[in-house]
């Protein structure tokens, strides 16, 4: 059976052109399957050939065999997409001096990290695409790679981007007071440490994925993706594919985890969108786990040299450090790869009263995968440096670590306050949370127990951290720098004819319970049961404009917009009800989906009275929607309300917490057992305790991963050596301690709801508490460790036994 077959497109053909039909007995898919006919599915699948080397010049790519492979619809190189995609640059105006060259979805001429996309194969199935990709021959003239960030600025280091003359991407120094004079004082004790943090990544349950469809009849691109910021991606796709923004729809629903990994622009996803537009057919790409390790952004790769000066009575006289971090060969678009270092500069020591402070960060290019924002951006580094130095200093002067914090933490009655780096703080409770922590963990009793156990050769330790967490960011965070990232969120709520309400919000759901929180707020404010609330998120076609979910902003910003929209809709309903019932809106309320008189049970009066139900919401809605003739002509109810909310006047709203870890170290094996973990958090008004506690516990577990297990290990020539779940260690359930969570509630005055964020404190604070606990256990043995992850081998080296 041979003959012409019309397909949408193939390389070197035109849309709709007839091409020879393959013989029925031709071997397809490399699986030994013979078919009598070929039916081309409309959905196509993309697979990528990626660079096998960290740095090199592309000499030749032979894609001829792949293009001839049965079932292959198209093969594109980076050069092929130049005419279809506008390059993107990962810089922000307010990060003065940050530089990064234009980047394309796939490498053009030069490859700069192992795993960088080189060629995209689009076929009728993923298996066919992968089989064809394996036939592509790539010749690369290898160039010297830059993999050691500490040597990236050496005068003899290879320069990744020759036009810059060096590998420096960005540098900033922050200084307050006179730290040099403070360190030189005769009455202070100075403690110096070097901290090393292992590069690691967010291992999401669901990998990155995208399905893209282009409708040429409407010039409409629809982008379904596993991500966090639909409206940001709408702008990016429109700008870089040359489409009107209103002709791009982005859908992101029920994402299987993100942790900040999925708020960035990835070349393979942009290439997938470009292919869908060129071919006029839907194209699907799903990153496999190897691709995830190679290309999902990494984070936390820092070396910090820090020092602290304290007086004999435990007051911090000065804090200073130098940080160097390697970000890969480009700054990530559009949020950049300098934000993490900037957060370290701004947040280190932010919980404490500091008069003398100096911090310098240098961000360098290197031939590794790109680094960028990952859950609790910069916080783990900042908290480890400040609280690690503080606890070491406490031991140097013979002071308890709780007491030294009490002498330096910003007072709870001192707000509003400004940190040494210029951050504006308000509505925090460092002393209350510390006192609650000490009580709930029975601190003094555990200290006494540990002293007794040491006599028996059992080495246990306690470590603490007092921290702040950035949440509810305002436009001063990204918008001020020119990024297409909204700091506002919007909610539209409408009353359905059946008496239910529908909530449409610009925040997104990645498993943290955002939809539940929005439903809870809307139900509570408006006056219906939660099961009568339906929530839609993650679709630019049907939701108000907003930022999505990042920086712990879902409840604090999206929730506030929902509260205001629910209140506005309620006022509309009560005006209509008052007209129908010939009453006053002030005399009515909504309780359990019923219009009731205020003063009846549930309507505000209580007192044991039975509810005086006047009418149901469904009756009211149907009167408006179906029998409007019964209403006065000057009453034109909409029964829908939209409200947007953004934080004003300050860049962020801060959460604070006090945390502690208890560990046991085996000096013979270097293994650490985490016995207990406590977190006392002040995230403002707690709307749903179960969800908040789940976020904190999940964050602590990720912090445990960074502290003890997770590290992306690269060879000197830039090969990622542990890019599988068998080699990259993540914390397992049986290794987790009891995580006890308690709360202090200090509502933020920036909103009516009073909610701050809670999604990142556990990740941001737990590594510091854990390192301090391990060092507390090692101290009687004359050892210490200041490198993460704290593996058994590194602990044994610290003990001098290997």
Out of 582, 612, 645, pick the residue that ends a domain: 645
User: Is 358 contained in some domain?
Assistant: no
641 and 660, same domain (yes or no): no
235 and 86, same domain (yes or no): yes
Distance CA 533, CA 565 (A): 14
Distance CA 416, CA 304 (A): 30
Place of tokens 């080397």: 53
566 and 527, same domain (yes or no): yes
505 and 612, same domain (yes or no): yes
User: Is 322 contained in some domain?
Assistant: no
Q: What is the pLDDT of residues 432-481, one digit of tens each?
A: 999 999 999 999 999 999 999 999 999 999 999 999 999 999 888 888 88
Distance CA 780, CA 456 (A): 13
767 and 726, same domain (yes or no): yes
CATH code of the domain covering residue 569? 3.30.365.10
- Tell me the CA distances in angstroms from 491 to 2, 412, 541, 554, one per residue in order: 57, 34, 13, 12
Cα 229 from chain centroid (whole Å)? 11
The answer on pLDDT for 23 being more than 50 is no
Is residue 611 very low, low, confident or very high in pLDDT (cuts 50, 70, 90)? Answer: low
What pLDDT was estimated at residue 5? 26
522 and 425, same domain (yes or no): no
What pLDDT was estimated at residue 599? 74
Distance CA 621, CA 639 (A): 8
Number of independent structural domains in the chain: 3
Distance CA 524, CA 532 (A): 11
694 and 740, same domain (yes or no): yes
Out of 645, 673, 689, pick the residue that ends a domain: 645
Cite the DSSP H helix spans in 599-652.
617-626
Out of 588, 618, 645, pick the residue that ends a domain: 645
User: Is 347 contained in some domain?
Assistant: no
Can you tell me whether residue 93 is helix, strand or coil? Answer: coil
Distance CA 785, CA 771 (A): 8
Mean pLDDT of 281-301: 98
Residue 605: exposure state from Cβ atoms within 10 A (0-12, 13-18, ≥19): middle
User: Is 18 contained in some domain?
Assistant: no
- pTM comes to 0.92
What pLDDT was estimated at residue 50? 98
523 and 608, same domain (yes or no): yes
User: Is 227 contained in some domain?
Assistant: yes
460 and 503, same domain (yes or no): no
User: Is 5 contained in some domain?
Assistant: no
566 and 511, same domain (yes or no): yes
605 and 725, same domain (yes or no): no
Distance CA 736, CA 704 (A): 9
User: Is 326 contained in some domain?
Assistant: no
Residue 535: which domain range? Answer: 24-32+488-645
The answer on pLDDT for 196 being more than 80 is yes
Distance CA 58, CA 63 (A): 14
- Tell me the CA distances in angstroms from 171 to 97, 138, 400, one per residue in order: 7, 37, 37
User: Is 615 contained in some domain?
Assistant: yes
Q: What is the pLDDT of residues 25-54, one digit of tens each?
A: 333 333 333 334 445 569 999 999 999 999
CATH code of the domain covering residue 107? 3.90.1170.50
567 and 458, same domain (yes or no): no
Q: What is the pLDDT of residues 515-539, one digit of tens each?
A: 999 999 999 999 999 999 999 999 9
């Amino acid at each position: 059976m041979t003959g012409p077959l019309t397909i949408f497109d193939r390389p070197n053909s035109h849309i709709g052109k007839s091409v020879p039909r393959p013989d029925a007995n031709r071997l397809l898919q490399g699986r030994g399957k013979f078919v009598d006919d070929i039916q081309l599915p409309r959905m196509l699948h993309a697979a990528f050939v990626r660079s096998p080397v960290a740095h090199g010049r592309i000499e030749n790519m032979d894609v001829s065999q792949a293009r001839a492979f049965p079932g292959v619809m198209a093969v594109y190189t980076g050069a092929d997409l130049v005419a279809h995609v506008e390059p993107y640059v990962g810089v922000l105006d307010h990060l003065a001096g940050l530089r990064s060259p234009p980047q394309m979805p796939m490498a053009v001429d030069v490859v700069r990290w192992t795993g960088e996309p080189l060629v995209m194969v689009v076929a009728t199935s993923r298996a066919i695409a992968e089989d064809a990709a394996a036939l592509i021959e790539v010749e690369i003239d290898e160039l010297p790679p830059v993999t050691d960030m500490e040597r990236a600025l050496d005068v003899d280091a290879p320069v990744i981007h020759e036009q810059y003359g060096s590998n420096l991407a960005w540098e900033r120094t922050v200084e307050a007071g006179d730290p040099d004079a403070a360190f030189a004082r005769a009455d202070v004790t100075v403690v110096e440490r070097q901290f090393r943090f292992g590069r690691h990544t967010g291992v999401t349950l669901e990998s990155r994925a995208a399905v893209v469809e282009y409708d040429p009849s409407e010039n409409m691109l629809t982008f379904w993706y596993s991500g966090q910021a639909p409206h940001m991606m709408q702008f990016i796709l429109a700008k870089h594919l040359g489409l009107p923004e209103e002709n791009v729809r982005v859908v992101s629903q029920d994402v299987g985890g993100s942790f900040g990994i999925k708020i960035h622009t990835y070349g393979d996803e942009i290439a997938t969108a470009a292919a869908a537009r060129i071919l006029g057919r839907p194209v699907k790409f799903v990153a496999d786990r190897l691709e995830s390790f190679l290309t999902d952004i990494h984070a936390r790769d820092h070396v910090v040299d820090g020092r602290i000066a304290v007086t004999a009575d435990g007051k911090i006289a000065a804090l200073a450090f130098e940080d160097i971090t390697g970000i890969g060969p480009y700054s990530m678009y559009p949020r950049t790869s300098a934000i993490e270092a900037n957060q370290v500069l701004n947040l280190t020591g932010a919980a404490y009263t500091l008069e003398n402070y100096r911090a310098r960060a240098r961000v360098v290019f290197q031939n590794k995968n790109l680094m960028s924002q990952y859950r609790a951006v910069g916080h783990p580094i900042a908290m480890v440096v400040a609280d690690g130095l503080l606890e070491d200093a406490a031991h140097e002067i013979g002071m308890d670590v709780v007491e030294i914090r009490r002498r330096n933490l910003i007072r709870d009655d001192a707000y509003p306050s400004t940190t040494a780096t210029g951050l504006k703080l308000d509505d925090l409770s460092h002393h209350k949370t510390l006192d609650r922590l000490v009580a709930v963990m029975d601190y003094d009793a555990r200290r006494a127990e540990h002293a007794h156990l040491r006599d028996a050769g059992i080495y246990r330790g306690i470590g603490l951290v007092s921290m702040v967490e950035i949440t509810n960011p305002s436009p001063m965070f990204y918008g001020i720098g020119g990024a297409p990232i909204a700091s506002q969120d919007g909610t539209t709520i409408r009353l359905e004819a059946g008496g239910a309400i529908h909530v449409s919000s610009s925040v997104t759901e990645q498993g943290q319970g955002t939809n539940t929180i929005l439903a809870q707020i809307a139900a509570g404010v408006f006056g219906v049961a939660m099961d009568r609330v339906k929530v839609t998120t993650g679709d630019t076609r049907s939701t108000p404009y907003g930022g999505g979910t990042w920086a712990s902003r879902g409840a604090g910003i999206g929730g506030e917009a929902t509260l205001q929209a629910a209140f506005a809709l309620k006022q509309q309903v009560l005006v209509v009800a008052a007209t129908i019932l010939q009453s006053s809106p002030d005399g009515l309320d909504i309780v359990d989906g019923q219009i009731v008189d205020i003063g009846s049970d549930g309507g505000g009066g209580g007192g044991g009275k039975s509810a005086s139900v006047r009418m149901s919401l469904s009756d009211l809605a149907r009167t408006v929607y179906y029998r409007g003739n019964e209403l006065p002509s000057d009453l034109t109810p909409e029964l829908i309300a939209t409200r947007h909310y953004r934080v004003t006047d300050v860049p962020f709203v801060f959460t604070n917490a006090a945390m502690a870890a208890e560990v046991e170290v085996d000096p013979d094996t270097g293994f650490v057992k985490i016995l207990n973990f406590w977190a006392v958090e002040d995230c403002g008004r707690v709307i749903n305790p179960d969800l908040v506690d789940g976020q904190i516990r999940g964050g602590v577990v990720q912090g445990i991963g960074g502290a003890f297990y997770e590290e992306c290990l690269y060879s000197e020539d830039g090969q990622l050596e542990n890019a599988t779940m068998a080699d990259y260690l993540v914390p397992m359930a049986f290794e987790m301690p009891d995580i006890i969570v308690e709360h202090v509630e200090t509502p933020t005055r920036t909103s009516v709801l009073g909610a701050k964020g809670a999604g990142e404190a556990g990740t941001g604070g737990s590594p510091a508490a854990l390192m301090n606990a391990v060092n507390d256990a090692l101290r009687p043995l004359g050892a210490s460790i200041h490198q993460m992850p704290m593996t058994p081998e590194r602990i044994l080296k610290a003990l001098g036994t290997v």
